[in-house]
Amino acid sequence: MNLYNIAIHSLKRKKSKTAFLIIGLVLAVSSVVTLITVSEIVNRSVATNLDEFGANIVISPKSDELSLNYGGLTVGGVSISNNQLKNEDILSIKKIKNKDNISIIAPKLLNTTNIEGKKSLVAGINVNEELKLKKWWKVIGKKSISKSEALVGLKIKEKLNIRLDQIIKINSREFTVVGIIEETGSQDDSMIFINLDEAQSVFNQEEKLSLIEVAALCYDCPIEEIVTQTSNQLPLADVTAIRQTIESKMTAIHSFEHFSFGLSMVILIISMLIVFTNVNASVSERTAEIGVFKAIGFTRNNITTIIIFEVFLSSLIAGVIGYVIGIYASRVIAPILSMNSSLNVEINIYTLIIATFLSLIIGVLSSLYPVYRANKLDPTVAFRSL
Amino acid sequence: MSFIEINNLTKEYRASKESVLAINDVSAAINKNEFVAVMGPSGSGKSTFLTTVGGLSKPSNGTVKIDDINIFGLNVDTLANYRREYIGFIFQSFHLLKYLTVQENVLLPLVSSDLKKKEKIEKCHAILSKVGLETKAKRMVDELSGGEQQRVAIARALVNDPLILLADEPTGNLDSRTGESIMNLFKDLNAEGKCVIVVTHDNKIERYAQRSIYFLDGKIVN
């Protein structure tokens, strides 16, 4: 017979109260596990979608020449300089430490040319990457372009009075307009887009690039790190993070996280009250028993050990059950909220330990006052109550 | 110098705005091998006297010295240890833990003991044998009769071999025949050298004691 046996026997005796205590904690732990797991999954999902929605890093050549404005960003000079970016720089970007965080690399060669007597801006693009980056593009006609095909922005289409399937000449080479990009409200409206290889050939700038737009998945990586790593790989380039884009993305991501955190706190406080009420009532009911413990010479430490061990055991069981329920609930809820049915929520031993620890903390903290009360009980009053 | 010296003991209970003097300036002396019956009507203060002498309830005023140690001068945990080693309590309602077996109940005061498990069980069986319950060690306490439950309570009080046995109405819940056997057990224990103090309002108990102390309205009247 030891103090732990007494606690275990006591728990077995008051099965319904123990079950109520465990259920209260299970509800709290499972709710918090579900909220946090779902929040993290949805955040990642939202972050991934947002990260792929436009660039958050722009790489341009270091240049002292007059700058060219593109989409509100200052990029390197259009004319050839010693510092001009090259195709091989794309490979260098793919070698940085955080390369797994990079989702899209969209290189561009920008140049001006005369089309039908009017000065126009032509962009050589990697069309697949560009379309991934600019998911908002709505194209009348064909979206993808092959050799000798071009996409045109709405403003330039109106300015040059271009129609679909019309052939336009860029530096004497013919291109068929296969798609017209609906108004985007950006620089893209005034541009003609052709394949990057074609543009490099047409403008005699083989292997050369004007800028590279990068979309980095930065839910759990510091964007500044990626900028630094890229700058180290491309010492002759200016690597700039588009702060406004990043901050708006992070605000969107963190809003759900803050909501989940707030709700978790409310649930935890409620569960602490449940545990407190349960343990406090148990102490009141056990007044005579505690009196007997005192009469036979149990110290405050002995009485504290019995009560805390009872709560500890209940919390431990509740922590594990709550975690498992939370994970299964997340498996149901997360795919619905993130609109991604392929999501898989794994049981993670590290999170299981945290959930169990959380349950233990709630249980033990909520029992401190009832334990204090038990130790302050006057046994004489306890015996008189019977 | 007596083994137990009680000087000017006062115990006041406060219930909301009112205060009740349960015992009022009581002094007494009890010797080591004495069997004392504490008599008096209900509410006269005799149970409060017993729990105060046993160090369970702190007096509002006065001192209790056992073997020249002022027990209320000890800190809470030292007093608990002292109670475990020197005092055995027996109550009218037995106050056994119903979710434990007879043996487990008797072993309770040995929880913090340095004895090995085997030694504890041997000690427990010896005590159970003394109170006539050696065959019922594994039974749950609520399977026993009232008299047997009181014997378990006595065994629990004796397991640490205390010098003092304090019993509060130990026969109150028993029929007269069982009550008699319990009182004879107390008499035997006293003959073995234990100081026995029994609180009762049953005049028949008086004949087992060497001396009686009468309480009335919180004061000793004899």
**Which ipTM score applies to this complex?**
0.88
Residue with the bigger pLDDT between A326 and A346: it is A326
Query: With 50 as the cut, is the pLDDT of residue A386 above it?
Result: no
> From the CA of B194, how many Å to the nearest CA of chain A?
17
Average pLDDT of A375-382? 76
Specify if B48 maps to a domain. yes
Predicted local distance difference test score (pLDDT) of residue B43: 86
Q: Given this model, what pLDDT does residue A385 score?
A: 46
Q: Name the range with the highest mean pLDDT among A81-95, A160-174, A326-340.
A: A160-174
**Nearest-CA distance from A361 to chain B in Å?**
27
Closest chain A residue by Cα to residue B86? A297
Whether B47 has a pLDDT exceeding 60, the answer reads: yes
> Considering only alpha carbons, which residue of chain A is nearest residue B55?
A295
Nearest alpha-carbon partner for A27 in A232, A339, A267: A267
Report the DSSP beta bridge partners of residue B214.
Answer: B39
Contacts of A300 in chain B (CB under 8 A): 76-77, 80
| pLDDT over threshold 90, residue A370 | yes
Question: pLDDT tens digits, residue range B152-178?
Answer: 999 999 898 899 999 998 888 888 888
- CB–CB of B56 and A380 under 8 A? yes
Let me know if residue B75 belongs to a domain: no
> Does residue B6 lie in a domain region?
no
Total structural domains within chain B: 1
Is the pLDDT at A223 greater than 70, yes or no?
Answer: yes
User: Is B113 within the bounds of a domain?
Assistant: yes
Beta bridge partners of A241: A57
Residue B134 falls within a domain, yes or no? yes
Q: Nearest chain B residue to A292 by CA: give it.
A: B95
The alpha-carbon gap from B83 to the nearest alpha carbon of chain A, in Å, equals: 5
- Give the pLDDT band of residue A313 (cuts 50, 70, 90): very high
* Residue, of B222 and A82, whose pLDDT is higher: B222
Whether A211 contacts A108, CB under 8 Å: yes
What's the pLDDT score for residue A63?
66
What pLDDT, on a 0 to 100 scale, did the predictor assign at position A236?
86
* Mutation target vs B (from A292, A300, A375, A381; most B CBs, 10 A cutoff): A292
**pLDDT tens digit string along A182-207?**
998 888 999 999 999 999 999 999 99
Per-residue pLDDT tens digits for A72-116: 444 444 444 557 899 999 999 999 988 888 888 999 999 988 887
Asked, for residue B12, whether it belongs to a domain, the answer is no
SS3 (DSSP) at A170: strand
Chain-chain contact of A12 with B99 (C-beta, under 8 angstroms): yes
| Residue B64 resides in a domain | no
Give the pLDDT score at A135: 82
pLDDT at A181 over 90: yes
pLDDT of A233 above 50: yes
In chain A, what percentage of residues exceed pLDDT 70?
Answer: 85
Q: Which of A296, A300, A379 sits opposite B108 (nearest CB)?
A: A296
Top mean pLDDT of A112-121, A148-157, A236-245, A258-267 is at A148-157
Residue of A nearest to B58 (CA): A378
String of DSSP letters for B69-129: EEGGGS-HHHHHHHHHHHEEEE-TT----TTSBHHHHHHGGGTT--S-HHHHHHHHHHHHH
Closest residue in B to A12 (Cα) is B99
Provide the shortest C-alpha distance from residue A377 to chain B (in Å).
10
Q: Would an 8 Å CB–CB cutoff place A287 in contact with chain B? A: no
What's the CATH code of the domain at B98?
3.40.50.300
Chain B CB contacts of A293 under 8 Å are: 108
Are the beta carbons of B80 and A378 separated by less than 8 Å?
no
State which residues form the domain around B144.
32-56+85-220
Tell me how close the Cα of A299 comes to any Cα of chain B, in angstroms.
5
Mean pLDDT of chain A: 84
For the cut 70, the answer to whether the pLDDT of residue A384 exceeds it is no
pLDDT tens sequence across B86-106: 999 998 888 899 889 999 999
